Amino acid sequence: MEELPFLGLSMQKKVVIITGASSGIGKALAEKYAAEGWNLVLAARREERLQEIKTKLQNTEILTVKTDVTSEEDCKNLVNEAIKRFGKIDVLINNAGISMRAIFEQLELDVVRRVMDVNFWGTVYCTKYALPWLLKTKGSVAGIISIGGYIGLPGRTGYSASKFAVRGFLETLRVENLKTGLHVLIAAPGFTSSEIRKSALNSTGNQQGETPRDEDKMMSAEECASHIYTAIRKRKRNLVLTFVEGKLTVFLSKFLPRFVEKMSYKWFAKEPDSPFK
């Protein structure tokens, strides 16, 4: 791989790439890593949002790169720009994601493709091009999935499928790199207050707009980011957040799958304008 020029002073700090950094958990991760003294490479489609974050976080060096993770070339460019600026990558956090809400019977298949392109292929593309540099630093690659990557969430077929796929991809990557020093974290937040539900796609691929859940009762994005930061620092394998909706649900699904399925159905059926009767 061709060595690209970089600023020598940037080598004094560790470097993290965060995708989907313009809002929610990604933005909170940027704030957390900045507070800990890291150099940041922030990626998202909304460049103006990235610039706002960069202006706010003035105590560290920040590179913003407009990136659509569904584009392989954009993901390759993201990594190249990071290396040009900082010369190395210590952590890649695949956080960019999109959700959907509709029963499969009524769902246009293009919605599933769009969700898979962002959640799964975005993770694959970024990881592919960052991997050679992460191997040099014996760094970390993290994927932000959800409880939907452990159990099927009704009304979210495309979303759960994409998160299961990310989990399978990263678990396999971990096995392949048992002897290279690469650290792989699979992080599954429970329901976290963010914009992901507002931008979730409906059956025809339009944004649903108003969230069907009470965001004030959820874990904050800042708390979630703090847990993820600690898990990466401690080089943990897996992180499941929240007790009832997270740890307990994943545990029970292994031994009482039918019970969890019934409870999941009832839970989502209570949402406003639920597609379930």
Q: Which residues are catalytic?
A: 159
Phi, psi of 254 (to 5 degrees): -75, -30
Q: Widest CA span of the chain, in angstroms?
A: 61
CA distances for 175 relative to 74, 101, 140, 195, 246, angstroms:
27, 33, 14, 33, 25
Gap between the terminal Cα atoms of the chain: 56
- What does the alpha-carbon distance between residue 264 and residue 258 come to, in Å, rounded to a whole number? 10
Phi first, then psi, for residue 225 (nearest 5°) are -60, -40
Query: Contact at 8 Å (CB) between 118 and 218?
Result: no
Residue 198's Cβ-count burial label (10 Å; 0-12, 13-18, 19+) is middle
In degrees to the nearest 10, what's the CA dihedral of 111, 113, 118, 122?
A: 180
Angle (CA) 5-9-14 rounded to 5° is: 90
What is the C-alpha to C-alpha distance for residues 67 and 211, in angstroms, rounded to an integer?
A: 25
Beta-sheet pairing, 91-94 with 140-144:
parallel
